[in-house]
Amino acid sequence: MDTTDVFTPIGQPHASRMIRKMVETGRVGGSYLFSGPPGVGKKTAARYLAMAVNCEAATFPPCGRCAACAKILSGNHPDVWTLAPREGKQTLAIDQVRELQAALAFAPYEGKRRVVTLAPAERLGLEAANALLVTLETPPTHTLLILATAAPYVLLPTIRSRCQVIRFSPLSRDALVTIARNLGFDLSHEEPALELCQGSATRLAALLAAETGEIYAEMDAFIAGILTGKRAPDLIETPKWAKQRGSMEIFLERLLWLTRDWAVSLEGDTGREIVNKKWIRGVTGAGVRAARASLLDLADALFQAMEDLKRNAAPELIFDTLRMRMEAIVG
């Protein structure tokens, strides 16, 4: 594969095959639903399809160099755009759909085909969704609508049934390593972030960001401190990240992985199954002992805490409860 090419979707063989077939046989429909988890390349594939139908070289794959391809890649093509909820709004508004419909009434400015991606499509308000039905049923000629969503079940059945569905899967380790390389990260296949990101390139990028590394390091030090029975003053104070919902989510997820790894290591498994090998070596090296049952209890408590956090419980209260649980584990 040409690694300088940044526009070809990576790690979605099914979707790529479908797109190739559509373009090569000249049977590109008017409405598509790109369905799959967040951060696996749905919007990249939508952009690729837009390039494929507009490329001046008129060959497949798109050249990536002609004026049309270049404009689409830089987000400056007048006939190719993405429609998302307005800043600070939860849903796509009905007037946004009306504006879209007004724009679709005209022929494309310069492209062969206008391509509009609605993302995240599950955030179409009910009114907006109903207004869109007509357009999906009979899309104007020279128009291609793509609805990209991680939650297809939220869409009205009448919306879904009017679109051809293309499914996207979580990304494999190989695909994630390639994507990371394109982002400038040289990862080994053992890198814990590859497991932690759950097949999402967006999550992987967030995990590899420097500030994420710092907050993880702080959390790991805190957890290790508690588990080795230290009562240092900086452990008695509530850390800053325990006061915010977003970072508490990260903490709970982090602690769940470590707890899981610890429980697995007690079974004598030190191989591939353990994600955070270095951390586990640190804990076992420090002679910290824990019973399998109490680790599983902690895991239960963590799932409960995740639910509580979703239901708006105060992060600090959740944190205090968990700290007591953790202290109880090591006695």
Residues that bind Zn ion (CB under 5 A): 55, 57, 62-63, 66, 69
Nearer CB in complex with Zn ion: 142/160: 142
Least distance between Zn ion and beta carbon 64 (Å): 6
Nearer CB in complex with Zn ion: 50/219: 50
Q: Nearest 5 degrees, angle CA 27-CA 31-CA 36?
A: 105
Nearer CB in complex with Zn ion: 55/128: 55
Nearer CB in complex with Zn ion: 10/55: 55
Least distance between Zn ion and beta carbon 52 (Å): 9
Measure the CA–CA gap between 205 and 203, rounded to whole angstroms.
Answer: 5
Least distance between Zn ion and beta carbon 14 (Å): 24
Nearer CB in complex with Zn ion: 66/288: 66
Q: Which residues contact 145 (CB under 8 A, 6 or more apart)?
A: 30, 31, 32, 116, 117, 118, 135, 136, 139
Nearer CB in complex with Zn ion: 58/183: 58
Least distance between Zn ion and beta carbon 155 (Å): 32
Is the distance from CB of 245 to CB of 309 less than 8 angstroms? yes
Least distance between Zn ion and beta carbon 22 (Å): 17
Is the distance from CB of 80 to CB of 48 less than 8 angstroms? no
Least distance between Zn ion and beta carbon 63 (Å): 4
Nearer CB in complex with Zn ion: 59/304: 59
Least distance between Zn ion and beta carbon 68 (Å): 6
Least distance between Zn ion and beta carbon 66 (Å): 3
Nearer CB in complex with Zn ion: 11/64: 64
